[in-house]
Amino acid sequence: MNARPKNNTSNRFEIIRRGWQMFQQGQVPTGIREPILRSWERSRKAGVNPALPGGLLVWDRHQLALAQAANQELIDAARGPLRDLEQALIGTGLVLALLDANSRALLVRGDSQGLAAAEQILLVPGSDWSESEVGTNAMGTALVEGTLVSVIKAEHYLESLHPWSCVAAPIRHPRTGSVVGLLDLSGTGPAIGQQAEMVLRSSLAAIESQLAAADLQLRNKLLEAYSDELIRPRTAPLAAVDRYGDIVKATDAALAALPAPELKAAMKKVAATGTDCQIRVTVEDKPATLILRPVRWEDRVIGALAELSRPLSRPRSGPQSVSPAGEELVGRNPAWLATVQRALQAARTDFTILITGETGTGKEVLAKAIHRASPRSKGPWIAVNCGALSPTLAASQLFGYVGGAFTGANPKGSPGLVEAASGGTLFLDEVGELPPEVQVALLRFLEERQVYRIGSHRPIPVDVRIIAATNQDLAEMVRQGRFRQDLYYRLNVVHLHIPPLRERREDILPLVEYAYRRLGVVPPDLGFSSCQQLTSYSWPGNVRELMNLVEQAVALNEDPANLLPLPSLGSPQVQVGEYGEEERIRKALADCRGNVAAAARQLGISRTTLYRKLEQYGIRLKRQIDEDPL
């Protein structure tokens, strides 16, 4: 029973051997796989000599050390999976190679028998296995094809490699999708089959998972540097740029103004030199200077902070100030200051925090400020919108799952967001939207500080700080049976309530001023009438609405007060929509006994706007008072 497959295999090898000979003689080969034939054609076109002894040694020891340092992130991610795979290779004669994104070997591992054979074909650290140099081979061809490739015996373009069989696949960056390296298994024994491909895919998945975790950590560190810079007074557009020159986060002004090609070119210089880079660019047909300052972590450049030096509007005289705690933490309202002070005190502890407040009041910003001020500031920050979680997958998204836990699940399983936040802070926004079964799982985690992945009974300890937020009345939801009482008490250890903006009227103008600086624009001089309109407006969308209004004002080069929606204007005592605009104006004038200034304040508009509306609706005043009585 065993002899027949062996004969079939031998016949297959012979067909491949004859096909290789036909191709080298300029004939059309038969029985050759299409990917291999394509590679042979490319190899011939590149002028590869089929008589070469093997790989090309391109790096000496010093150059190899530099290349390994440049690929340290890849090597770190591969260290664990390679160690496990190396143990499995003992006695097999197979060798394992980790290569960079140009098919050059960084590491070669295996038992003594395999390594000795590999040295004969120069499959050693520092050797080049690109298809254009050594012809068809799994490493170089996998890079060209962009997928897993196996090359069996005489399918190799070089005759010296015909005793070998190999399988290789690209390692891709989990966020960018770009190839960052290659993983290869090679040997001179029987042809590498499906089992070896499965082992390689498994190791590949483990490496890419480690790369994803490392990338998330570096991304969080870069965002911390961006946040720390953003809270300082500034007039220039600011962006956080990762190692690849892609913007991770930026002010709106920076997103609109920063030129992408120049940004990538400058980031390459920063990554190569580790120093600041300044280049001249043109923005809106005007010259500007693009400045990149490297951000380092653990002696590595993980990105840069980019800014344009040219101010976007006329400087404003007078002092400017920003709260040191964070962007929407600007303010001097006593209730707001008490909330901020309580938050910073709670930041020094690990107690669970519940933040309540209307939509748009800045609950996530306050939570981020707590994270940055806490001992966990160097750990990850993970924000989850509970209302956006899939109802059927919410538990697996938060707590992870094991392979085969449900249809469509990753066969390798997956950690959840709670595990991803280990060592840092997990922010659960809209926590009142959690399904009942997930509420039970969250309560269990808060009590035990252990995660049970879906489909597993094995506890996984997780060290994470929970901050929850909601715009709902959780106490009322508890009374109605829509939210677990025990979970409510677990979350509500420290309660922080953010007052709505209409109750913080003394903070409106400082927030408007900050909103301009946040966009990289020097705040304009707002007249008395504009300031009056802004502070009289009810701000149903709170701080978020204010920030959006200033963005519109910058985009349209308009006074923000002129963009306020009149139908929504008025003091809290005026019911929006109870009357039409004309009726509201008539009522305000009647309430104020013809006092135009007082009526304008009640309506939340300027006197100039009110006079225009009076003319529009043909309203004549029986008694006109333009100023308040003394």
Hey, what are 194's tokens? 């499906």
Q: Which helix (H) or strand (E) holds 150?
A: strand 149-152
Task: Give the per-residue pLDDT at 313.
Answer: 39
Instruction: Report, as an integer, the average pLDDT of 412-431.
Output: 86
Task: Give the per-residue pLDDT at 606.
Answer: 61
Instruction: Report, as an integer, the average pLDDT of 164-193.
Output: 88
Task: Give the per-residue pLDDT at 566.
Answer: 56
Least confident of 179-183, 526-530, 583-587: 526-530
Task: Give the per-residue pLDDT at 97.
Answer: 96
Side chain identity at 18, as an amino acid letter?
Answer: R
Task: Give the per-residue pLDDT at 55.
Answer: 92
Binned at pLDDT 50, 70 and 90, residue 232 comes out as low
Q: Is residue 36 pLDDT above 90, yes or no?
A: yes
Q: Which helix (H) or strand (E) holds 105?
A: strand 105-110
Judged on CB neighbours under 10 Å (0-12, 13-18, 19+), 17 is middle
Task: Give the per-residue pLDDT at 574.
Answer: 30
Q: Is residue 87 pLDDT above 90, yes or no?
A: no
Task: Give the per-residue pLDDT at 363.
Answer: 92
Over its C-alpha atoms, the chain yields an Rg (Å, rounded) of 33
Could you tell me which residue, 546 or 176, shows the higher pLDDT?
546
Long-range CB pairs of 68-74, under 8 A, 24+ apart, other chains included: 68/106, 68/107, 70/100, 71/100, 71/106, 71/180, 71/181, 72/300, 73/211, 73/214, 74/98, 74/100, 74/106, 74/171, 74/180, 74/181, 74/207, 74/211
Q: Is residue 235 pLDDT above 70, yes or no?
A: no
Instruction: Report, as an integer, the average pLDDT of 201-227.
Output: 87
Q: Residue 486, SS3?
A: helix
Q: Is residue 39 pLDDT above 70, yes or no?
A: yes
Q: Tens of pLDDT along 287-313?
A: 777 888 888 887 788 899 988 765 433
Q: Is residue 567 pLDDT above 80, yes or no?
A: no
Side chain identity at 392, as an amino acid letter?
Answer: T
Task: Give the per-residue pLDDT at 234.
Answer: 56
Binned at pLDDT 50, 70 and 90, residue 272 comes out as confident
Neighbours of 281 (CB within 10 A): 18
Q: Is the dihedral of CA 54, 55, 57, 58 positive or negative?
A: positive
Contact 197, 142 (CB under 8 A): no
Could you tell me which residue, 595 or 101, shows the higher pLDDT?
101
Task: Give the per-residue pLDDT at 27.
Answer: 93
Judged on CB neighbours under 10 Å (0-12, 13-18, 19+), 251 is buried
Binned at pLDDT 50, 70 and 90, residue 575 comes out as very low
**Residues pairing with 454 in the sheet:** 401
Hey, what are 573's tokens? 């005592």
DSSP 563: G
Q: Tens of pLDDT along 508-537?
A: 988 998 888 888 888 887 777 788 888 888
Q: Which helix (H) or strand (E) holds 306?
A: strand 300-308
Binned at pLDDT 50, 70 and 90, residue 467 comes out as very high
Neighbours of 232 (CB within 10 A): 10
Q: Which helix (H) or strand (E) holds 447?
A: helix 436-448
Among 85-94, 464-473, 502-511, 549-558, name the most confident range. Answer: 464-473
Contact 89, 203 (CB under 8 A): no
Q: Is residue 438 pLDDT above 80, yes or no?
A: yes
Hey, what are 596's tokens? 């135009």
DSSP string, 423-436: TSEEEEETGGGS-H
Q: Is residue 44 pLDDT above 50, yes or no?
A: yes
Q: Which helix (H) or strand (E) holds 77?
A: helix 72-89
Least confident of 96-105, 425-434, 526-535, 560-569: 560-569
Integer Cα distance of 151 and 153 in angstroms: 7
Integer Cα distance of 524 and 356 in angstroms: 33
Binned at pLDDT 50, 70 and 90, residue 604 comes out as low
Q: String of b and e for 557-588 (b: at least 16 CB within 10 Å)?
A: eebbbeebeeeebbeeebeeeeeeeeebbbbb
Neighbours of 199 (CB within 10 A): 18
Instruction: Report the Cα 244 to chain-centroid distance in Å.
Output: 13
DSSP string, 241-288: EETTS-EEEE-HHHHHH--HHHHHHHHHHHHHH-S-EEEEEEETTEEE
Q: Is residue 322 pLDDT above 60, yes or no?
A: no
Task: Give the per-residue pLDDT at 161.
Answer: 95
Average pLDDT, the chain: 83
Binned at pLDDT 50, 70 and 90, residue 580 comes out as low
Least confident of 415-419, 504-508, 527-531, 620-624: 620-624
Q: Is residue 434 pLDDT above 50, yes or no?
A: yes
Prediction pTM value = 0.48
Closest CA to 95 of 122, 131, 130: 122
Instruction: Report, as an integer, the average pLDDT of 255-272.
Output: 82
Instruction: Report, as an integer, the average pLDDT of 558-577.
Output: 56
Could you tell me which residue, 324 or 448, shows the higher pLDDT?
448
Q: Is residue 326 pLDDT above 60, yes or no?
A: no
Q: Which helix (H) or strand (E) holds 395?
A: helix 394-399
